[in-house]
Amino acid sequence: MCNLLEENYPELLEDFFTAGARRLNFTDLTPPALLSQYQQQPGDEKLWLLMCRRATMETVLRRYVDKQPSIQIKNTTYVTGIQTKRDNGTVAICGLELTDRLNNNAKSVYQADAYIDASGRSSKFSQWLGAIGVDISEQHDDAEIVYYTRHYKLNEGAVEPSRHDNEPAAGDLGYLKYGVFPGDGGHFAIIICLPNAETELRAAVKNGDYFDSICRTIPGLAPWINETVSHATTDTFGIGEIHAVWRDWVSQDKPDVLNFFAVGDSSARTNPLYGRGCSIGILHAHLLADVLTDNQDPTQRAQAFHKLTQERIRPIFDASLREDKSGIKRADAVKKGLDRDTANSIKSWFRLAFGDALAAAVRDHLHVFRGMMRTFNLIEKPGEFLQDNKIRLTILRYMLRGRKRNAKARVQRGPTRAEMLAHIATTITATETTAQQNKGTS
Ligand SMILES: Cc1cc2nc3c(=O)[nH]c(=O)nc-3n(C[C@H](O)[C@H](O)[C@H](O)COP(=O)(O)OP(=O)(O)OC[C@H]3O[C@@H](n4cnc5c(N)ncnc54)[C@H](O)[C@@H]3O)c2cc1C
């Protein structure tokens, strides 16, 4: 997303910086221990992050779009249905039914050459098409987690905790994933992801005080949740239905529907935990713009867009889905108290040994770290850096020195599940006792 913004919308990017968004370059993200190995390489300039709140992003984007003479924003008008016709036996969309909710639900129809569904995770187009007998193929996988967020602001004069001197501000304890999302103007958000099955913890994080208390037990989060450093600006918000959803609009090279293109979440939705949704959306939209410019025929347009979507978006979706699946297995093993490190087949031994070797090599070698960042930043297809011979050799060398040594790179950065459950039980009991005492006194 950052690179597409930089290449195509330099003014928009400036608007982001004016609004307080920050740019973190590759060297800002590189751990100090690896900086001594740093020599600039072509492509490093593409490894950067744009940091701001979602509210800032949406406001800046909205103002920028508002200034474009070719775009009209109809804020109170909703797409509430579709009109279709048959084109050589295939259903083609020929109109959108609109409802203006601020104007007595006035109905109208909008017609165009092509219709683009960018209506996000609640898109109704596949349902509307299904109702007229067009069966859109849909893959739907539940990540089996709930995502909780709380927003904070740094206190006057306080500085953001260093991303290098402290434990990493994002991690996975098996039963709980966490992360700090630094924003703009001293704002930041903390997310906690819990498996659906972690009922006690899920009940606890809904309460802001318990949310903070849980964060304080995690070394990577504790420096952020400190009364001298920051204060909460919101309660906790939960969001469920974290599903990976993939829709195909072309079956066996034959479009299911013509004049219709779905981009972003309405076509490929991934777990928000990985922060890939905005990049997928903008990349997908640019692929579509190229297709619409290069092809005029509705069937060719659908086929070309489908092909590019499969080539460029599907690998990102697949990698996110794999991470969801392994997260589910890991959480299940932790809940059952199973040892996740014992291999029960040669294949699983190799997978574990490779994972440990990679984790240790990333920590020690800049070229492996850079490769991983290329995947993380979606500069390449996920995992492509593992095809690089130098990186493969380094990982092989680490595998040869043995799993035990490599596994030290993968320390549990926080309490075990049992410790966390005990912590939360004690915190709740103490809070309830104090509340009862106060009630008695008053
Ligand atoms: C809790 C959470 C945290 C996330 N964090 C990140 C992150 O850190 N980084 C990241 O990259 N991604 C993140 N994502 C994912 C990201 O928000 C989405 O992938 C991205 O917004 C998808 O963009 P979109 O344009 O496809 O859809 P959306 O951003 O959802 O936009 C859809 C738009 O369509 C409008 N709309 C819907 N239906 C209709 C209708 N019938 N008529 C008219 N308008 C309609 C909606 O009002 C909305 O404005 C997060 C998602 C969630 C839920």
Q: Cα(385) to centroid of ligand 1, in Å?
A: 29
> What whole-number distance in Å separates Cα of residue 128 and Cα of residue 283?
26
Q: Indicate whether residue 147 lines ligand 1 (CB < 6 A).
A: yes
Q: Indicate whether residue 281 lines ligand 1 (CB < 6 A).
A: yes
Q: Indicate whether residue 276 lines ligand 1 (CB < 6 A).
A: yes
pLDDT at 412: 67
Residue type, 423: H
To the nearest whole number, what is the mean pLDDT of the chain? 93
Tell me the domains of the chain and their CATH numbers: 2-66 (no CATH), 77-138+243-325 (3.50.50.60), 144-239 (3.30.9), 346-407 (no CATH)
Task: Enumerate the H helices of 309-342 as residue ranges.
Answer: 314-335
Q: Which of 414, 416, 415, 411 is nearest to 363 (CA)?
A: 411
Atom of ligand 1 nearest to the CA of 264: 26
185 phi, psi to nearest 5 deg: 55, 30
Decide if 126 contacts 247 (C-beta within 8 A). yes
> What whole-number distance in Å separates Cα of residue 199 and Cα of residue 311?
39
Q: Indicate whether residue 79 lines ligand 1 (CB < 6 A).
A: yes
Atom of ligand 1 nearest to the CA of 280: 19
Q: What is the 3-state secondary structure (H, E, C) of 127-150?
A: HHHHHCCCCCEEEEEECCEEEEEE
Q: Indicate whether residue 57 lines ligand 1 (CB < 6 A).
A: no
pLDDT tens digits along 228-269: 999 999 999 999 889 999 999 999 999 999 999 999 999 999
Q: Looking at ligand 1, which residue's alpha carbon is closest to its atom 24? A: 120
Q: Indicate whether residue 120 lines ligand 1 (CB < 6 A).
A: yes
Q: Per residue of the chain (442 residues), what is the pLDDT tens digit?
A: 999 999 999 999 999 999 999 999 999 999 888 999 999 999 999 999 999 999 999 999 999 999 999 999 999 999 999 999 998 889 999 999 999 999 999 999 999 999 999 999 999 999 999 999 999 999 999 999 999 999 999 999 999 998 777 788 898 898 999 999 999 999 999 999 999 999 999 999 999 999 999 999 999 999 999 999 999 999 999 998 899 999 999 999 999 999 999 999 999 999 998 889 999 999 999 999 999 999 999 999 999 999 999 999 999 999 999 999 989 988 888 888 887 677 778 888 888 899 999 999 999 999 999 999 999 999 999 999 999 999 999 999 999 998 888 887 776 689 999 999 999 999 988 888 888 888 777 6
From 234, 278, 287, 317, mutation site for ligand 1 pocket: most ligand atoms within 8 A of C-beta: 278
